[in-house]
Amino acid sequence: MTFDQNLSSRINLMRILLISGIVFVHVPHNPETSPFLGLYGFFDWIRVFLGDTLFRIGVPCLSAISGYLLFRRGMKGFDYPATIKSKTRTVLLPFLLWNGALFLAVLLFQRFEVGIGYFPDLWNASPREMMSHGAAIEELPVNVPLYFLRDLFVCILLSPILAFFVRRFALPTLALLLIVAALPDLTLLIVQKKSILFSFALGIALALHKIDLKTLDPYAGKLTILVLIAAALLATGLYFTGPEFTFELNLLRNLLAIFGAMGLWASSSLLIKSRTGRRLSETGSLSFWIFCAHYPLLVIMWMVWNKGGPDFYPAFYVGAIVIAFVILIVSNAQVRSKLPSVYALLTGSRSGKPKSIHQNASSAKAAPTPPPAETIIPQRQR
């Protein structure tokens, strides 16, 4: 199929929407303000709906887009050495810069006993733990959402192998990866979030088998409603049983994150028709900036709030989200304008505007959606 301007705009729209959704996932809290306590009723249900169901769809959707864009020109248009060189600059380098900067800042602040309990205790960490905090070798990095860049780079390294199997044995390969992604108790050492392997491989399969990405567009409205209803029902089950979920609920949550991506992708065909949707699709590298910078900003605001904020968590939740978006949008514009060289390094040489479809659009960068924190240390996984 032809990769036209409509698809390019829809991909850019999904990036900014889903990455913005990740901000809701990572708003920190402690055990006393857990949404599963139900202290604030419907407000807490909304938190579960946004953080534990709806925006968990972001990672599968964006990683599928990444796999598709990598192979949209087919196997003949795929240059592995050139791809690794390019992705080292656009994926790996930003990961190391953003996570490394936060790692050093936390190390410095904790020397003066600032930030302990909010970030990993780096001064008492073992060398093995330090490697994970700094480079996400075995555990999440200190800047939690950046695990996605690490996993994405691993998928890119594995892309020729994944392409080989999905090209010749598409259904068995995808079925196996789906089982691995869905089963809660299975773990993989090569990636932090195993669902990315299925989604990335699915994107490759769509590209190599030339599947029309607009196939679901006629059903966009129904699919969008179905995804929202499924997310709401699952959120209700999680709300009344969390924070420790049953095997069945974890399984359903994993499946919704994977299959819900199809519904959200179809919804982009409707959203892109609106003026707001078209404007959001033109925000370019802002989505990547939000992805990389939002987590430490939220934690810092949580630290400040705990020093003297009122005992009313909804005020922090709403205020932190609003303030975070204002700071992220303004800082993105200022750094891009006044420090273009630094901005290019931090965003993987992305320009302020989205790339043309005739350029090497490469992979969709996003964030992952690790589950929200259960404790005052928001980077730990449930």
Which domain covers residue 36, as residue numbers?
5-346
Task: Give the model's pLDDT for residue 340.
Answer: 94
Task: Give the model's pLDDT for residue 363.
Answer: 39
Q: Which residue has the tokens 């490469």?
A: 362
- pLDDT band at residue 355 using 50, 70 and 90 as cut-offs: low
* 382: in domain: no
State yes or no: pLDDT of 116 exceeds 50: yes
Task: Give the model's pLDDT for residue 351.
Answer: 65
Give whole-number Cα distances, 225 to 235, 259, 361, in Å: 15, 14, 30
Task: Give the model's pLDDT for residue 378.
Answer: 44
Listed in sequence order, the residues at least 6 apart from 336 whose beta carbon sits closer than 8 Å to its beta carbon are 285, 343, 352
State yes or no: pLDDT of 14 exceeds 60: yes
* 374: in domain: no
The structural domain count of the chain equals: 1
**Stretch 91-111: mean pLDDT, rounded?**
95
Task: Give the model's pLDDT for residue 373.
Answer: 35
* 129: in domain: yes
Distance between first and last Cα of the chain: 41
Task: Give the model's pLDDT for residue 77.
Answer: 87
State yes or no: pLDDT of 328 exceeds 90: yes
State yes or no: pLDDT of 23 exceeds 50: yes
* 378: in domain: no
CA distance 265 to 246: 29
Inter-helix orientation angle 286-308/313-338, to 10°: 140
- pLDDT band at residue 186 using 50, 70 and 90 as cut-offs: confident
Question: For the CA atoms of 341, 66, 323, 102, what is the dihedral angle to 10 degrees?
Answer: -60
Task: Give the model's pLDDT for residue 187.
Answer: 83
* 230: in domain: yes
* 134: in domain: yes
- pLDDT band at residue 188 using 50, 70 and 90 as cut-offs: confident
- pLDDT band at residue 4 using 50, 70 and 90 as cut-offs: confident
Tell me, yes or no, if the pTM score tops 0.75.
Answer: yes
* 356: in domain: no
* 228: in domain: yes
**Stretch 153-165: mean pLDDT, rounded?**
96
Long-range (24+ apart) CB contacts under 8 A made by 351-355 are 351/284, 351/285, 352/284, 352/285, 352/286, 353/282, 353/284, 353/285, 354/8, 354/9, 354/12, 354/281, 354/282, 354/283, 354/284
- pLDDT band at residue 309 using 50, 70 and 90 as cut-offs: confident
